[in-house]
Structure formats: structure tokens, C-alpha cells
Structure 1
Amino acid sequence: MQIQKTADGFDLILDGRPILRHRSDAPCLFVGQGDARMDMYRGNFDIEDYVVERTPLAHAVVSGSNIAFSAAPGQPVRMILQLSGDDRNGAIAFRTEDAALNRIWLRVQAEPGEHVWGGGEQMSYFDMRGRRFPLWTSEPGVGRDKTTEITFKADVSGKSGGDYWNTNYPQPTFLSSRRYTLHVETTAYSAFDFRRGDFHEIEIWAVPERIELSARPTFISLVEAMSERFGRQPPLPEWVYGGAIIGLKDGANSFERLETILAAGTKVSGLWCEDWVGLRHTSFGARLFWDWKANDDRYPGLRQRMAELEDRGIRFLGYVNPYLAVDGSLFPEAEAAGYFAKDESGKTALVDFGEFDCGVVDFTNPEAAAWFAERVIGQNMLDFGLSGWMADFGEYLPIDVKLANGVDAKLMHNAWPTLWAEVNARAVASRGKTGEALFFMRAGFTGVQKHCPLLWGGDQSVDFTRHDGLVTVMSGALSSGLLGNAYHHSDIGGYTSLFGNARTAELVMRWAEMGAFTPVMRTHEGNRPRDNLQIDQDSEVLAHFARMTRVYVHLVPYLKSLVAEASTRGLPVQRPLFLHFEDDARTYAIQDAYLYGPDLLIAPVWQSGKTEWSTYLPEGAEWTHVWSGKTFAGGQDATVGAPFGEPPVFYRTGSEFAELFAGLRKL
């Protein structure tokens, strides 16, 4: 990085790109104090800040690689920025002697027409320009659009409506179309504000450790740099390539239903039963029993049934989260050892999850983290024979508990998903099953990439809505993929069914079409299985789903090449169009189509009642429509028929996998 002094300020340049522009009448740095109110209700947050002070630091003195900021000449220095790095990578460390400062606002240079992406896993808007994005892990909310009836009802009934920026997985990192990345190393609440034309404002509710910058000549090299920085996942397990993971939560009857699904010609790699731990019955309906071990009443002889399935090439998966129910067998064991987070009085903090209370295992206590990894995941799950699980509720750390490391829970809240991922990864590694056992998470934050082998998109509504339906999964995959998360998937058919909203056959089939072109196919019965269509309840839906699993398996040779790329280069399997067509500016804002590797373009039908579909084909390649064989020149919109079973899919005509892709027509 270079500092260019001016008469009344400086410019900070990274590989020719202006990053900071400071003038006495237009400062780049503001400091101050805020008094935040944070209310949590079952993973949903109501947050507001009363800004006590926001002072522009108009006077900057550059001395070597340090910049000392004060409000005016002769005033005390309130912040020092320490710069380090080279032409391609830089860091800005923050130093202050004023312990009262707890707010930082930094203005980063912006340009007209600039695009920005990232922010973790963003479900509503892939291109973040023009909006403000708070970065706080939470439930994403139901509906996620304040203008809709379902969001209004969710807000009124459970404070759970959400908005466009709510996400399980935030990360204070963005990638700019100016071909640089910016990452804030902090776990504090922060926000990216991209609403101004001449600058981006970064707001942090703490003095951050540093801001990291990287510049590269291409988008691909930037994504590679991000994966090097945050970590790379192990390859997908070989068994995953056998087909879909079927999600059923019907006790022992799940095995009979699986046979029906198999008899329809469905390719199956796994049976996922989140109710393997048993159920508790509440006024809200059946809930999982949060005591993480097999329940013999609900799944008698489970270990033998799992072994029989594995002999047929089908693995068994379960469910776990960081909480332990007070009436379970593990709770007294953990409490006696002092492994739970504490309340103000020093007693075990109990969290109400609706007619049952739980303790949260304190992963800042190394002994507690090791106990959970060994006792719960190692012994009760891996040794028992599970090949994978949903690792849920990483975003739920209460903000009023006392933790073993002494750090304020408000600062640990964002860090919690990464700690939770690390516990799971440690358990897997302890059994030598890294790359063999597969757990998947919805919650994330900086560094989760290093530990979590697979993301899932969370709890979408069972519909086609713009902010909470099928289309949001693509934005989530693309935004998180730019930051080193190579593998993403979703609940086929969606999850959340409330206020009379229920799945249709059309939705399940369209979702399955998209799922066939993701790294992992997995179904879910949803939060209200009896109220919603399941894949084995409709012969047409089941036949369609079976065909889509055959599409997935047919593409395994290509998928394995993408997994190899992810392992060696950190490139995601699902990619934004601009990653391979960066000279085509029309690709920069597209979020309802994606590249599946470099050679397949997928444009899922995400609206109801459509029998044909239009999508943009990037210039610089000739494209072949998979199902008709018709070719299209790039740089134009293409409209194709889209009957069920033929989602809009195109391949590069000259691809080395062209013969494999053309073979899809015969399935």
C-alpha cells in the first residue's frame, strides 16, 4: 500500500486502487460512543443504537506507516492507524488510548457503477450496492419483506418477520468490482453501508483489530485469495455422489417410506432423520428431544438398521445443536462439570425454547468444548454409526450470559457459529473421518470456512416469494461462495410453513430441479410435515424427483472435477456469472442464475406458473441448451421452454464435458 500525502490530507492506494481519501473538510474516519439496546427473542433480535458521540477526525498526521488522527490541530490524538503490507495485500490496524471509544465509522472510496458482493450469506440481494447491511448472526426471519402479510403476521405473533439483511451467516467482508476485497477483523456488531455514490461507510461497534485488503487482477484470483485467508473445506465424501439425502422424520416408519422412494428409481445416498433423538410433545406440536443420543423408542434397533443401509450404499444422518435440555441425561453431566454458560448470579443460564428449558454449552471453556466434541458427537453420534448431521442453532448464543473467557457475550455472539463449527470438526477429526463424515450448518461468521464442510441455506418459506422463497437460495450460495465457502445446498421444497402457507407440487418439483445442480441434494419435510406435500405422497412428484436424482448422479464426473478445484484453488461449485465473464458488465447484478463450475449455466424457474423461461447468456462463449441441443450466441437473452423436468440449463458448446452434458437428454 502507498500513502500519498496532500496539502490537507492523504490518499491510501492499493495496487493503483484508491481505498481511503482523507481531507480536512472530508474526513475518512469518525469515532465516538454508542449505547446499544439489544433484545433477543428465540434467535430474532431487535437492535437499535443511541449515538452518544460521533466525531469526525479531520486532522491527520502521516509519519512513516502510521497515521495519527485528531479532531483538529493541537487536539489530542484519538486514533492511530498502522499500515502494513505490499502492493497486493494490506492491513490497517487500529490503536487508541481512549477506552471509552466503542464506535468507529470508516469511509472507503467508491466509484460510480461499482458493484459489491459478499457480506457472508446474503439471501435477498447479491449485489449489495445501494443498501445498508447490518452484520449480526440471527434467525433470518419469516417472509423477510416488511410489505408482505406473512412477514407482518410473523412480526406480530413471534417478533420473527425479519428483513432483507437478516441472515444466519453474516461476515464483514466484501468484494468490489474494482477487484479488491475488504475484510474487517472483529466479532462486534457492524454494518456495511453502500448507499452513497462516492464512498462506502463501514460502521463497527468496537475498535476493530484491523481491516484487511487484497487486490488482484481478476475475480477468480480474488476468490482464491479469500479461500486462502479463511480456509478451505475438505472434499465432499465419496458416498454423497450416490444421489440425494432423503430427509424423513417419521420414526421407524422412515425406513419403509425410504423403500417406496427407492422403488420409484430414486438415487439415494443418505437417509437423514433429525428425530433420531426422539420427540417431546408441546402445545406447539412435536419438537425434537434435545438430548443428543439415539432414542430406542422412536428408532428401535437403529444401529443395526444403519449398518444394513450402509451395506446398500446409503448412509444415516442425524441432528445436533449446542443446547442440552434440562430433563435430558446429558444436562446433569455437563452441569456437574461446570460446562454451561452462566447467568448474572453465577448459576447455569437457562434458555426457554417454548415449554422446555436448556443450558448452552460454553465453547469458550476449552474443557467444555472438548467434552461436547468427544462425549456427544464422538461417542453418541460418530461411534454409534452416524455419517453426518445437521449442526443447528449456531446463531442462538444469548447476549446476556456470562462466558468462561470473560468476553462480553455481545462480542462473542457473532463468533459463536465458528466456535460451534470447530467443535463439530474436532469431533470428526478425532475419529479420522474428515472428508468422510458430513455435517452441515446454516449459521456462520468469519473463519467458519475452515471448519464447516457444507452450508445449507436455512429455513426458506415453502413458496416462490422474492425474499424468502426458492430464489433466495441462489443469492445465498453466490455471496457465501465468494468468501471461501465452496459447497452450498438447501432444503428441497423449503422449510417454513406458517399462516396457511403450504407447499405445492410445482414448488417441490422446481426446487428439485435446482437441487440437481448443486453440490448436495437433500430434502426436508419442513416444520409442519402433515400440512405439507412430501415427495412420496404424489406419484408425479416422486417420479420427477427420481429423475432429478439421476441427473445429479449423471453429472458426478463433472462435479468431482469441481470438488478438486475447490480443494486446490478454493473456487466454489456454484459461481456468479461474472467470475468467468468479468468483461461482460451485464453479469454483475445477476442473482437468479449461476454457473455450475465454468461450463454449465443454470437458470432455475423460480416463479409459479411458468412453462418457458428467459435468461441472459454471457458474451464470450457459445451456449448449447441441454434439452433441445439448440445453440445460442453469448451476449443475449435466451428464451427456452421449461416444462417440468427440463430446467433452463446451458453448457459451453466447446466444453470438454460436452458429451456428458448432452447425455442428460437421454435420462
Structure 2
Amino acid sequence: LPIDLIVIDFFHWPLQGEWKFDPTYWPDPDAMVQELKDMNIELMVSIWPTVDRRCENYEEMVEKGLLIRCDRGTRISLDFEGNTVHFDATNSESRAYVWNKAKQNYFSKGIKTFWLDEAEPEYSIYHFDNWRYWQGSNVSIGNIYPKEYARAFYEGQEAEGQKNIVNLLRCAWAGSQKYGALVWSGDIASSWYSLKNQFAAGLNMGMAGISWWTTDIGGFHGGNPDDEAFRELFTRWFQYGAFCPVMRLHGDREPHQPQHGTTGGATCLSGAPNEVWSYGPEVYEICKKYMKIREDMRDYTRSLMKEAHENGSPVIRPIFYDFPKDKKAWSIEDQHMYGPKYLVAPILNPGQRKRTVYLPAGATWKALDGDGVFNGGREIEVDCPMETMPVFVKQ
């Protein structure tokens, strides 16, 4: 199976705000990074913007004014796995401080890609009028936080001479794409309703100018790999994910695993296995099929990313984007184009084994699965057994 990158998720650190590997569980990260590079696998690490009041950097960051403030009450913005305050991404000195910690503990080891989580930022209580940033009140400028968070790492990596910088973020704002932001849709439910929402969200993000977008295949919250109903949802989501700007499998599966250790992030339990072979042999074969399809499209996908970089063109887009003169194309809400070549008709309902597909006028279309060739400007009904999602190639 092809693999480009492995992710080390959150709470690999001793405490939030220390931005380093916990030596209890990661005794030799340099050797780990090198071993992965020898296999041509890059490593991404999770970054959180939260700073635990117990951590080694808290007092210094308070003294230097590098944390967000509140107008009233106790300065605790999030109480997940500790009482924490977010670093102030709107303050250039704070951005530099956090990047330098990441540079020292990650970048210097060869880690060049970062997962910038909690980018909204997430608060325990959303009293927006209470929080104050270096550049102003949350009410007046709060939406720029994810953009400035992305900027902290982008500018740091750029200063080190890195090219083609891409980091994964959970939130974005107008201009985030300037700072190499690959945005995913957050901690979503593992449900058919959520899958439908992702389909719409991805298209809207692209049309809003943020072309690099992805979703947690299978959803994030819940889902048991041994549950046949969830396996169907996972399969359909995986097929759709093969034709998203970035194909990415992630989720907090059930049941959670036993606790290992007692320090650092030990109490934040891992979910059940979520690899493609965790869903039984039938689903595994389908996953292999769509991973191969994705791999075969590698050069094509890179050309779409290049076009997005140069022109702001969405990688996935509504049908009308490529067929503006086709009136019916403007009303199609359950299909999308993957670049100008592939027409994708995902399966968004449980138990669905047939669906209607509209083929836009002005082109001839060939089924990706099978030998059927069809003239455009009409609807056709196609079979869609579990192993197949309807995709048509523009001739």
C-alpha cells in the first residue's frame, strides 16, 4: 500500500505548551525520524496552541505578554487535560516564541510538516466578548486567529529555507491559503448526515478560495470498525475521499484502548484500530482499490494543486464551474468535479445500490469502472454496489 506520511497525534508532550516529545514514551525521536525518512515516509506532529498553567513555559509567556487575556474572571480559556490559556497568535513575538520551540524540538530533527490543531481557537465557554488579543478584542478581530496561527509556522519554516510549505489546520479564515493552510473540517460525527455535510462544505471551501481541503474519512466521533453498518459508511466515505484534494483517514474509533502509563498524555486514551485492514477483508479490498486509483492520479492531482497555487482554482468544484452554459448543471448538488476531468457521484445514503447521475452537456463521458461511454446532457441510472462509486471521465 502506498504511504507518504505518518502522523503523531496530540498529547505526545509532557504538558500542553511544552511543544516537545515526552521522553517517557519517546526516548529517541531523532532515530525514529531518521528511520521513517529511510523508508521515504515523512512525519507530521500535532501542535496545540494551548499552554498549561503547570508547564515549563507558562510563567515566561505570562511575563512577556504572549498569552491571550480576559477582561473578567480567571484566565483559563480551555480546561481539557489541564487548565490552559492559548498563545496569542496575533502577537508577532508570541508567534516567534512558539515557532522557536517547535524548531528546537521538531524541525531540527527533520520534521517539516505540522498539524496545527485547535485553530479556532476552542474555548471551554464561548464568551467572545471576554477574550482579548494583542491586536484587539475577540469580538472585533477574533476570526483572524487561525490565519495568524498558520502564519507563525509558515513564516518560521520559510525563514529556514523550506519550500512548498503545507500544514494541516482545523480552521481557516480569508487569507489562510497564503500561509500554506490545508484545512480539514474538524471533529465531525461519524454519520451519513455528517458525510452529506462534508460534501457541501468541501465545495463551498473551494469556491471561497481555500482549495486545499480534507475531511476525516469515516468521521471523527465514534464508529466501531466491527459494526457492519459503520463499515458501509466508512467504505462510502473512503471512496469519496479518494476524490478530495487530500485523501486522509482519521477518527476516534470505539471502543477506546486501555491506558498506558500514568504521566503526560496517558489519560487521553487512544481509539480503536482505524487502519484500512481494521474493517474486515471485504472493506480492505475496496480500500486497496481506491488507494490505487488515488495513486494512479498522483501526477494529475499535483497538476491540480499547482493550478490552485497559481490561480486559486478549486480542486473539487460544483458541476457548473466547468460547465457554466449547462443550465441543469447549476442545480446539481450531489455530484462534483475533481478538476476538469473526473465527474464524481458519491453515495451519500445507507443501503443505496443505484443512483441517478447527470452527465453535463458538451462532453462525452466514460465510466471509470466499466466500458460504458455516454453522451452528455442527460441523466443515466447506474449500479453502485459496495465496491463501486460512480465516477466518469471526460473524453
Shorter-chain TM-score range: 0.7 to 0.9
Q: For the Cα contact (< 8 Å) 1:478–1:574, is it kept in 2?
A: yes
- Report the CA distance between 1:267 and its aligned residue: 1.1
1:55-134 correspondence runs (5 A): none
Which position in structure 2 is the counterpart of 1:645? 387
Amino acid at match of 1:431: E
Give every structure 1 segment of 4 or more consecutive aligned residues whose post-TM-superposition deviation is greater than 4 Å.
none
> Please, what TM-score do these two structures have when normalized by structure 2?
0.86
- Stretches of structure 2 that go unaligned for 5 or more consecutive residues are 257-270
1:409-558 correspondence runs (5 A): 409-435=138-164, 437-465=165-193, 469-497=194-222, 504-526=230-252, 528=254, 530=256, 534=274, 535-540=276-281, 541-558=283-300
- Report the CA distance between 1:519 and its aligned residue: 2.5
* Alpha carbons of structure 1 residues 610 and 319: separation in structure 2 relative to 1, 3 Å: same
* Alpha carbons of structure 1 residues 613 and 306: separation in structure 2 relative to 1, 3 Å: farther
**CA distance in structure 2 between the partners assigned to 1:589 and 1:365 by the alignment:** 45
**CA distance in structure 2 between the partners assigned to 1:337 and 1:293 by the alignment:** 21
Provide, for residues 87-131 of structure 1, a one-character-per-residue CA deviation record: whole Å limited to 9, x for no partner: xxxxxxxxxxxxxxxxxxxxxxxxxxxxxxxxxxxxxxxxxxxxx
Give the number of the structure whose alpha-carbon radius of gyration is greater. Answer: 1
* Alpha carbons of structure 1 residues 588 and 318: separation in structure 2 relative to 1, 3 Å: same
**CA distance in structure 1 between the partners assigned to 2:349 and 2:29 by the alignment:** 41
- Report the CA distance between 1:579 and its aligned residue: 0.7
Aligned with residue 404 of structure 1, among 134, 141, 151: 134
Amino acid at match of 2:182: L
Aligned with residue 295 of structure 1, among 22, 29, 34: 22
- Report the CA distance between 1:529 and its aligned residue: 5.9
Amino acid at match of 1:580: D
Aligned Cα RMSD in Å?
Answer: 2.5
Q: SS of the residue aligned with 1:319?
A: strand
Q: For the Cα contact (< 8 Å) 2:17–2:58, is it kept in 1?
A: no
Q: Percent identity?
A: 25
Structure whose residues are more often strand by fraction: 1
* Alpha carbons of structure 1 residues 352 and 489: separation in structure 2 relative to 1, 3 Å: closer
Provide, for residues 307-339 of structure 1, a one-character-per-residue CA deviation record: whole Å limited to 9, x for no partner: 111111111111112211222233233223221
**CA distance in structure 2 between the partners assigned to 1:279 and 1:593 by the alignment:** 45
Provide, for residues 561-587 of structure 1, a one-character-per-residue CA deviation record: whole Å limited to 9, x for no partner: 212222322211111110111111222
Which position in structure 1 is the counterpart of 2:109? 384
1:332 aligns with 2:38: no
* Alpha carbons of structure 1 residues 447 and 438: separation in structure 2 relative to 1, 3 Å: closer
Amino acid at match of 2:189: S
Q: For the Cα contact (< 8 Å) 1:276–1:299, is it kept in 2?
A: no
1:270 aligns with 2:5: yes
- Report the CA distance between 1:290 and its aligned residue: 5.3
* Alpha carbons of structure 1 residues 460 and 558: separation in structure 2 relative to 1, 3 Å: same
**CA distance in structure 2 between the partners assigned to 1:484 and 1:305 by the alignment:** 37
Structure whose residues are more often helix by fraction: 2
Aligned with residue 86 of structure 2, among 360, 364, 368: 360
Aligned with residue 569 of structure 1, among 311, 318, 336: 311
Provide, for residues 39-71 of structure 1, a one-character-per-residue CA deviation record: whole Å limited to 9, x for no partner: xxxxxxxxxxxxxxxxxxxxxxxxxxxxxxxxx
- Report the CA distance between 1:301 and its aligned residue: 2.2
* Alpha carbons of structure 1 residues 651 and 279: separation in structure 2 relative to 1, 3 Å: farther
Q: For the Cα contact (< 8 Å) 1:619–1:634, is it kept in 2?
A: yes
1:4-403 correspondence runs (5 A): 266-275=1-10, 277-278=12-13, 289=16, 291-344=18-71, 349-354=75-80, 356-375=82-101, 377-396=102-121, 399=128, 400-403=130-133
* Alpha carbons of structure 1 residues 381 and 592: separation in structure 2 relative to 1, 3 Å: farther
* Alpha carbons of structure 1 residues 316 and 341: separation in structure 2 relative to 1, 3 Å: same
- Report the CA distance between 1:276 and its aligned residue: 6.0
**CA distance in structure 1 between the partners assigned to 2:27 and 2:255 by the alignment:** 22
Deviates more, 1:308-317 or 1:543-552: 543-552
Q: For the Cα contact (< 8 Å) 2:68–2:86, is it kept in 1?
A: yes
- Stretches of structure 1 that go unaligned for 5 or more consecutive residues are 1-265, 281-288, 654-667
**CA distance in structure 1 between the partners assigned to 2:342 and 2:317 by the alignment:** 10
Q: For the Cα contact (< 8 Å) 2:382–2:390, is it kept in 1?
A: yes
Provide, for residues 214-268 of structure 1, a one-character-per-residue CA deviation record: whole Å limited to 9, x for no partner: xxxxxxxxxxxxxxxxxxxxxxxxxxxxxxxxxxxxxxxxxxxxxxxxxxxx211
What is the number of equivalent residue pairs in this alignment? Answer: 371
Which position in structure 2 is the counterpart of 1:230? none
- Report the CA distance between 1:533 and its aligned residue: 6.3
Amino acid at match of 1:619: A
